[in-house]
């Protein structure tokens, strides 16, 4: 198989010098001899050489100017440039290297040494290219693996959330709907300028993933309390309230062992504070207004809205219109008023998210695990 030779371009106004340089390299490389900068740039319209060897003292356009022009254009910036010149002062060499040349060879030169230096530079360039390629491939591999890990993590958390949901007299539908509603809500929040500074670095997908774990603490609540269809006694209600604290602790344990914990941190705040109320009458801490983490204030609205439009064994579902009105009436007492405005501003999208989830369940696409 014939392998193509590396292309070397030599630019010099002296035919004698061009011929000497060509003689030194022609056996090993495909050599182009060019008498001026103008002709070099014309040649570069059709080929990209592996290296350009430049004389300095030439009429009209000198080697420094050619080098500067090559380095200023993206297409030619990475072509290695070597000066080959009779100018042998340190100043000339420093100027050439400062312009981006990789070597500076003075005439007269030994053909053997000249060839070896070109060979060395081309080898370095090839290694650099190979390293870049390897680095790109490695990054791609890391990205793929990371994606797989995130998908796996997402599935584990979804299943965990569904386990909790089934104990809580609801279905997997609840988990998926909460995620969809949170996605719609967060997108609307991003489009508004409400809490823009606080959410600037947040990732909507991670936030939606986190939301499914808000009730994870219910794994520790007894069935008799969790599924009771009559009013809970005081001590039973106290036990129920503990699902927030327990959820927070469970997620804190995961947070301690997780290097990238943005997702878990959101989940922990949601689990702990989704039953807090704007006016300070919620639980477990009785936090109020901005004292409630933003994740908890978002989750409070999504959780209540979802519960209202859900059918349970002890209640029929409310219509979207009724649910919207109930969220509106809780603005400033139960819920953060600025967030209620954003949430209700995308009513049509919320309706779509609820309908889409119902359709999937009706068609049996999402069955009970």
Q: Return the number of the residue (119 or 239) whose C-beta is nearest Fe ion.
A: 239
Crossing angle of the two packed helices 294-309 and 172-191, in degrees rounded to 10:
130
Max CA pair span of the chain:
104
Per the CB < 8 A criterion, the answer to whether 226 and 163 are in contact is no
337-344 and 294-309 helices, crossing angle to 10°: 50
Minimum gap (Å) between residue 270 Cβ and Fe ion: 9
Place of tokens 């420094």: 64
Strand 7-11 to strand 51-54: parallel, antiparallel, or no bridges (unpaired)?
A: parallel
**Nearer to Fe ion by C-beta: 215 or 357?**
215
Least Cβ distance, residue 217 to Fe ion (angstroms) = 8
Between residues 20 and 213, which has the closer beta carbon with respect to Fe ion?
213
CB of residue 274 to Fe ion, shortest distance in Å:
6
Comparison of 121 and 214: residue with beta carbon closer to Fe ion: 214
State the Cα–Cα distance between residues 187 and 270, nearest whole angstrom: 18
Q: Among the candidate windows 36-44, 181-189, 213-221, 354-362, which touches Fe ion by CB under 5 A?
A: 213-221
* Residues contacting Fe ion: total by CB under 5 A: 1
- Applying CB under 5 A, which part among 58-66, 212-220, 290-298, 306-314 lies near Fe ion? 212-220
Closest CB to Fe ion belongs to which residue?
Answer: 215
Minimum distance, C-beta of residue 354 to Fe ion, in the bound complex (Å): 19
Task: Write the binding mask 88 to 107 for Fe ion: x where contact by CB under 5 A, - elsewhere.
Answer: --------------------
Q: Report the SS3 class of residue 50.
A: coil
Name the minimum Å distance from CB 309 to Fe ion: 16
Beta strands in the chain (DSSP E): 7-11, 30-34, 51-54, 81-85, 103-106
> Which is nearer to Fe ion, 101 or 299 (by Cβ)?
299
- Tell me if 215 contacts Fe ion by CB under 5 A: yes
Q: What is the DSSP code string of 278-343?
A: TTS--SSS---GGGS-HHHHHHHHHHHHHHHHS-BTTBPPPPHHHHHHHHHHTBTTTB-HHHHHHH
* Binding stretches for Fe ion (CB under 5 A): 215
């Amino acid at each position: 198989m014939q392998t193509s030779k590396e292309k070397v371009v030599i630019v010099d106004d002296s035919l004698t010098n061009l011929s000497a340089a060509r003689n030194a390299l022609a056996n090993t490389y495909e050599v182009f001899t060019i008498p001026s900068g103008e002709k070099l740039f014309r040649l570069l319209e059709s080929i990209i050489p592996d290296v350009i060897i430049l004389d300095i003292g030439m009429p009209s356009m000198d080697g420094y100017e050619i080098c500067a022009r090559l380095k200023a254009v993206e297409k030619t910036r990475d072509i290695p440039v070597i000066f080959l010149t009779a100018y042998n002062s340190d100043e000339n060499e420093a100027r050439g290297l400062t312009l981006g040349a990789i070597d500076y060879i003075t005439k007269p030169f030994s053909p053997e040494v000249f060839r070896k230096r070109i060979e060395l530079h081309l080898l370095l360039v090839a290694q650099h290219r190979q390293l870049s390629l390897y680095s790109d491939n490695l990054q791609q591999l890391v990205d793929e693996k990371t994606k797989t890990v995130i998908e796996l993590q997402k599935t584990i958390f979804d299943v965990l959330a569904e386990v909790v949901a089934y104990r809580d007299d609801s279905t997997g539908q609840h988990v998926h709907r909460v995620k969809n509603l949170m996605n719609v809500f967060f997108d609307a929040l991003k489009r508004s300028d409400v809490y823009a500074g606080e959410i600037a670095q947040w990732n909507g997908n991670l936030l939606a993933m986190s939301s499914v774990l808000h009730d994870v603490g219910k794994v520790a609540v007894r069935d008799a309390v969790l599924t009771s269809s009559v009013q809970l006694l005081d001590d039973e209600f106290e036990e129920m309230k503990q699902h927030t604290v327990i959820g927070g602790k469970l997620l804190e344990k995961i947070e301690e062992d997780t290097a990238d914990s943005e997702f878990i941190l959101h989940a922990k705040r949601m689990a702990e504070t989704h039953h807090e109320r704007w006016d300070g009458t919620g639980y477990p801490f009785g936090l109020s207004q901005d004292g409630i983490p933003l994740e908890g204030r978002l989750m409070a609205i999504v959780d209540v809205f979802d519960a209202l439009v859900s059918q349970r064994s002890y209640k029929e579902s409310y219509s979207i219109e009724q649910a919207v009105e109930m969220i509106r009436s809780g603005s400033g007492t139960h819920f953060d008023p600025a967030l209620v405005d954003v949430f209700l501003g995308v009513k049509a999208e919320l309706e779509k998210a609820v309908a889409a989830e119902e359709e999937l369940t009706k068609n049996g696409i999402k069955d009970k695990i």
